[in-house]
Amino acid sequence: MIRRILVLGTVLAASGAFAADQPSVQLEPTNLRGPRPLAKQTETAVVHDYLQAWQGMAAAMDQNRPDLLDQDFVGEAREKLAATIAEQTKLGVHVHYQDRTHDIKIVFYSPDGLSIQLVDLIEYDEQVLDHGKVVAVQPVHVRYVAVLTPTEVQWKVRILQSEPL
Amino acid sequence: MIRIACIFACILSATALPAPGQDASLDVPKSVVAGTAFSIPAAGSGKATLYIAGPDGVLKRDVQLGQPIAIAASDLDDAGHYIAVLASDSSSQTAQFDVIAANQPASISFLARPSRLPVDLQNGITGAVYVFDSYGNLITSPVPVNFELSVASAPAQTRTVVTNLGAAWTGMNSATKEGNAKFMAQAGNVSATRVIEQVPGEPCGLKMSAQKVGDKLNLVTEPLRDCGGNAVSDGTIVTFTETWDGGQTTVDVPLKRDIAQAEVPAHMGARLSVATGVVMGNEIRWEGKE
């Protein structure tokens, strides 16, 4: 059974550039590895924060502003994305990501409660621009693996990595 | 008619970059191991620009068509999905490919909990591991991880768990004897060790005796041990209670060198009891001698 997350509007609409095109989101039933049960509130918060991270990443990549990553990313994920933005800036390139669909499944909640891993079958459009000129637009369908860790007030993405379908 | 078509074609080809969506396919390997060199064939003649872009990295390079484009090992070492675009004045070729993590573990993230726990607790110690390659990419293909919990006084506990999407976890029992345990996780040639302090559990068989000293009773426990025979930590609070007709006296004292002792007034017929935490000890009725 697939549940549909309906309550995403507030967060997603908050990022102005993408307000018109909110992704559709499906949440697969969790089939966790590990002994720790996942509370409903935790699941909701993790999915919410993960989707928000996509919006933050898209805005940061589109505007070449690494500071926009701070809200949603920590550690390795933040460093890698910031490095990409630095390179984009150097090359005069920026990339516009528009996520279309997410099909999310939480797969691992570590026994200590300090990390949650999810997989996301995602479809997005990637538009590459060189000094403002569109070089290419490509639809992408890929599987992402993300690891989120709790911070004071929210879950942040520590690992974000795609892998072949 | 043909002339009109030609004019349109010429106008289109004269634009700086070709219209997106009309791209030919670029011959790029479907997947490349992180940190591996590869080349992209570039047919045609003249100059073009190669773009490789994804959330994990971006490249832009002026290239000469007709020669393979060499992508050095150091150019793409972050695992992820990339699109490649070879754009010239007259054409545009695109492709998508994946950079995947190398299979050889180079680092692990090892979280062990708790850092301190009582002895003899089933699955009381847990460890979770994420395995990375030398470029910090999560190795999502299965990797065996060996967990080992060792203490000086007992054989080590070992488990081998194969990662699923880069993650593995295990639970271990704390030892029956107090002391530090080394909790190690190893994947390939890399390992990480955490120290877990195993402390005595709840006291087992709390027992006291009473002795009259002047007009007082000196209450003394036997050395406090947990059920595994480990001495209970000094500082553990022990509560002595004396109840007699018309009154009650309660004394809380910390355990010192395995025993606790206190003085209470010697009331004939008083009932004396001792407890620590949730553990109740013996009871004495004072009738002038124990």
Please tell me the least confidently modeled range out of B3-17, B25-39, B213-227, B254-268.
B3-17
Give the residue from B129, B133, B71, B131 showing the smallest Cα distance to B100: B133
Which tens digits make up the pLDDT trace of B92-119?
899 999 999 999 999 999 999 999 998 8
Average pLDDT of the segment spanning A70-74: 96
What pLDDT score was predicted for residue A35? 82
Average pLDDT of the segment spanning B15-24: 46
**A80, closest residue in chain B (CA to CA):** B56
CATH of domain B208-285: 2.60.40.10
What pLDDT score was predicted for residue A34? 79
Domains parsed from chain A with CATH numbers: 3-163 (3.10.450.240)
Using the beta-carbon criterion (under 8 Å), do A162 and B23 form an inter-chain contact? no
Q: Which residues of B touch A114 (CB under 8 A)?
A: 111, 128
How many Å apart are CA B72 and CA B81, to the nearest integer? 17
Using the beta-carbon criterion (under 8 Å), do A110 and B128 form an inter-chain contact? yes
Residue A146, token pair as written in the block: 């993300």
Q: Which residues of A touch B171 (CB under 8 A)?
A: 35, 111
Q: Which residues of B touch A107 (CB under 8 A)?
A: 164-165
Using the beta-carbon criterion (under 8 Å), do B60 and A134 form an inter-chain contact? no
Give the residue from A82, A65, A43 showing the smallest Cα distance to A160: A82
Which tens digits make up the pLDDT trace of B269-282?
999 999 998 899 99
Which tens digits make up the pLDDT trace of B176-220?
888 899 999 999 999 999 999 998 888 888 999 999 998 899 999
How many Å apart are CA A130 and CA B288, to the nearest integer? 98
Q: Is the pLDDT of residue B17 over 50?
A: no
Give B23's pLDDT tier (boundaries 50, 70, 90). low
How many Å apart are CA A77 and CA A161, to the nearest integer? 8
CATH of domain B2-100: 2.60.40
* Share above pLDDT 70 across residues of chain A, in percent, rounded to a whole number: 87
Distances (CA, A) of B49 to B16, B20, B85, B91, B159: 12, 15, 8, 11, 52
Using the beta-carbon criterion (under 8 Å), do A95 and B53 form an inter-chain contact? yes
Which tens digits make up the pLDDT trace of B1-15?
444 444 434 333 333
Q: Which residues of A touch B28 (CB under 8 A)?
A: none
The CATH fold assigned to B107-199 is Immunoglobulin-like (2.60.40)
What pLDDT score was predicted for residue A151? 92
State the ipTM, two decimals: 0.88
Using the beta-carbon criterion (under 8 Å), do B58 and A95 form an inter-chain contact? yes
Task: Report which of residues A115 and A19 the model is more confident about.
Answer: A115
* Share above pLDDT 90 across residues of chain B, in percent, rounded to a whole number: 69
- On whether the CB atoms of residues B125 and B57 are closer than 8 A, the answer is no
Task: Report which of residues A150 and A15 the model is more confident about.
Answer: A150
Question: What's this model's pTM, rounded to 2 decimal places?
Answer: 0.80
- Calculate helix-pair angle for A75-91, A40-63, nearest 10 degrees: 20
Q: Is the pLDDT of residue A18 over 80?
A: no
Which tens digits make up the pLDDT trace of B57-71?
999 999 999 999 999
* Sequence ranges of the domains in chain B: 2-100, 107-199, 208-285
What pLDDT score was predicted for residue B11? 38
Average pLDDT of the segment spanning A67-89: 96
Using the beta-carbon criterion (under 8 Å), do B165 and A145 form an inter-chain contact? yes
- Residues near B165 by beta carbon (within 8 Å), at least 6 away in sequence: A107, A108, A117, A119, A145, B138, B140
The two domains B107-199 and B208-285 share their CATH topology (first three levels equal) = yes
Give B290's pLDDT tier (boundaries 50, 70, 90). low
Q: Which of B165, B194, B196 to mutate to test the interface with A (most CBs of A within 10 A)?
A: B165
Which tens digits make up the pLDDT trace of A80-135?
999 999 999 999 999 999 999 999 999 999 998 999 999 999 999 999 999 999 99
Q: With the C-alpha atoms ordered A39, A44, A47, A50, is the resulting torsion angle positive or negative?
A: negative
Q: Give the distance from CA B201 to its chain's centroid.
A: 25
Asked if residue B114 has a cis previous peptide bond (ω within 30° of 0), the answer is yes
Q: Which of B78, B83, B117 to mutate to test the interface with A (most CBs of A within 10 A)?
A: B83
Query: Chain A: nearest CA to B79, how far in angstroms?
Result: 7
Using the beta-carbon criterion (under 8 Å), do B51 and A35 form an inter-chain contact? no
What pLDDT score was predicted for residue B278? 85
**A57, closest residue in chain B (CA to CA):** B55
Nearest neighbour of B138 by CB, restricted to A35, A88, A159: A159
Furthest C-alpha separation in chain B: 128
How many Å apart are CA B232 and CA B253, to the nearest integer? 14
Average pLDDT of the segment spanning B208-233: 90
Give B289's pLDDT tier (boundaries 50, 70, 90). low
Q: Is the pLDDT of residue A13 over 80?
A: no
